[in-house]
Amino acid sequence: MSDDSRSPLSVHTTLGLGGPARHLTTVTSVDEIVSGVRECVRDEQPLLLLGGGSNVVVADDGFPGTVLLIRSQGWDVKPDDAHVSVTVQAGHEWDEFVLAMTEQGFSGVECLSGIPGAVGATPIQNVGAYGQEVSETITAVTVYDRDEGGIRTFRNDECLFEYRHSRFKRAERWVVLDVTFRLRVDPLSGPIAYPELARRLGVGQGDRVPLAAARQAVLELRRGKGMVLDPDDPDTRSAGSFFTNPLVSGGYPPQAPSWPMPNGVVKVSAAWLIENAGFHKGYRRGLAAISSKHTLSLTNPAHGTTKDLLELGREIRDGVLDRFGITLHPEVVLVNCTL
Ligand SMILES: Cc1cc2nc3c(=O)[nH]c(=O)nc-3n(C[C@H](O)[C@H](O)[C@H](O)COP(=O)(O)OP(=O)(O)OC[C@H]3O[C@@H](n4cnc5c(N)ncnc54)[C@H](O)[C@@H]3O)c2cc1C
């Protein structure tokens, strides 16, 4: 465990925003994570867990408690018929894991290439992109239960995965220690489901391609949208998509791209709603801006403040509500601040 309490949290978030924490500790093993959490519970300290800081908006005032930076590393592979079961430590960098799996011929996470952050955060909001979601390959999530004070494992069906949601999202109780994925031993990707990805690969929807080709095409598409971290590209100083695509059961504009979901609800494109409410790529408010490449991504290109970013977020949310009567909800986790 190491104590690094003097640095502001902006150093540990991809937005480059956030004031200091009262205590900031780096933990590098399950034992260190558990004893760090137990100390906070004992001292009744507010606790914030951070992986890569790529899905959080932290207040300019920082965090009035302890931040644990989760940096446990490594994974363990077990053969499982024509599959492998891979248990990965929560602090391992997600894309390093994805790269290794595609290189070793393990299929199932290749379309999730290039997503920033750590493995332990991927079940939290059921990370997804380009037609894949981690809920399709996760078989188990091992957590420390802050309420009961013990370790337990949730099977996939107990994780309550939904679109960008699970039982772990915004629930302080669970601390993810490791995640187990079941991947196919196969040099080919799963069926390519996402039309834009199929076009980029020059294949039909439902076709399969070599894992390296799928990864490469996803990375190219993501780079074009500023969705791969790049210190030279201010559009990537973001937390990814700021809002989720709203799930509506009533009216929505018929021209908006939409996708039917279970239980009769429809998922509507938040990017379309935002653009058609008058907020275009590159739109600025104060020092915050909509990415010049991706409408859903709110960025901090000019070293502004969380206040700037939240004001932009509020303006967009209120503009969409006024124009279409649909409320956008943040995908990002707001820490010590509100929209
Ligand atoms: C450029 C860019 C592109 C992105 N693209 C995508 C995308 O395509 N698809 C997508 O789904 N997301 C995307 N994201 C969002 C983000 O990368 C993912 O949500 C990622 O999984 C967050 O990981 P993290 O380690 O950075 O989480 P953090 O931001 O550190 O934490 C996120 C939340 O999880 C909690 N948390 C973190 N670790 C643990 C743990 N071990 N146990 C319990 N709680 C924990 C935190 O307290 C916080 O509430 C993108 C972000 C950026 C900046």
Residue 264 banded pLDDT, cuts 50, 70, 90? confident
pLDDT digits (tens, 9 = 90+) for 150-208: 999 999 999 999 988 999 988 889 999 999 999 999 999 999 999 999 999 999 999 99
* Whole-number average pLDDT of the chain: 95
Find the mean pLDDT for residues 304-321: 98
Catalytic residue flag (residue 164):
yes
| pLDDT of res. 5 | 62
SS3 270: helix
| pLDDT of res. 6 | 67
Closest approach atom of ligand 1 to CA 127: 11
Residue 7 reports pLDDT greater than 80: no
Residue 117 reports pLDDT greater than 70: yes
| pLDDT of res. 261 | 86
Closest approach atom of ligand 1 to CA 228: 1
Residue 122 C-alpha to ligand 1 middle, in angstroms? 6
Percent of the chain residues topping a pLDDT of 70: 98
Contact in structure between 119 and 179 (CB atoms under 8 Å): yes
- List 10, 113, 135, 164, catalytic entry: 164
Compute the distance between CA of residue 312 and CA of residue 287 in angstroms, rounded to an integer.
9
Q: Whose C-alpha lies nearest to ligand 1, atom 13? A: 240
Residue 328 banded pLDDT, cuts 50, 70, 90? very high
pLDDT digits (tens, 9 = 90+) for 48-103: 999 999 999 999 999 999 999 999 999 999 998 899 999 999 999 999 999 999 99
Measured torsion, CA atoms of residues 258, 261, 266, 267, in degrees rounded to the nearest 10:
-60
Compute the distance between CA of residue 232 and CA of residue 58 in angstroms, rounded to an integer.
23
Find the mean pLDDT for residues 9-19: 97
Compute the distance between CA of residue 36 and CA of residue 49 in angstroms, rounded to an integer.
10
Q: With a 6 A CB cut-off, is 300 part of the ligand 1 pocket?
A: no
Catalytic residue flag (residue 241):
yes
Contact in structure between 335 and 254 (CB atoms under 8 Å): no
Contact in structure between 198 and 204 (CB atoms under 8 Å): yes
Residue 250 C-alpha to ligand 1 middle, in angstroms? 30
Compute the distance between CA of residue 325 and CA of residue 14 in angstroms, rounded to an integer.
31
Residue 2 reports pLDDT greater than 90: no
Compute the distance between CA of residue 14 and CA of residue 12 in angstroms, rounded to an integer.
7
Closest approach atom of ligand 1 to CA 129: 8
pLDDT digits (tens, 9 = 90+) for 226-241: 999 999 999 999 999 9
SS3 217: helix
Q: ∠ at Cα 49 (45, 52), nearest 5°? A: 150
Compute the distance between CA of residue 110 and CA of residue 132 in angstroms, rounded to an integer.
8
Q: Whose C-alpha lies nearest to ligand 1, atom 23? A: 117
Contact in structure between 48 and 21 (CB atoms under 8 Å): yes
Q: Which structure tokens are listed for 305? A: 């403040």
Bridge partners, 7 (sequence order): none
| pLDDT of res. 33 | 98
Residue 338 reports pLDDT greater than 80: yes
pLDDT digits (tens, 9 = 90+) for 289-301: 999 999 999 999 9
Compute the distance between CA of residue 85 and CA of residue 191 in angstroms, rounded to an integer.
20
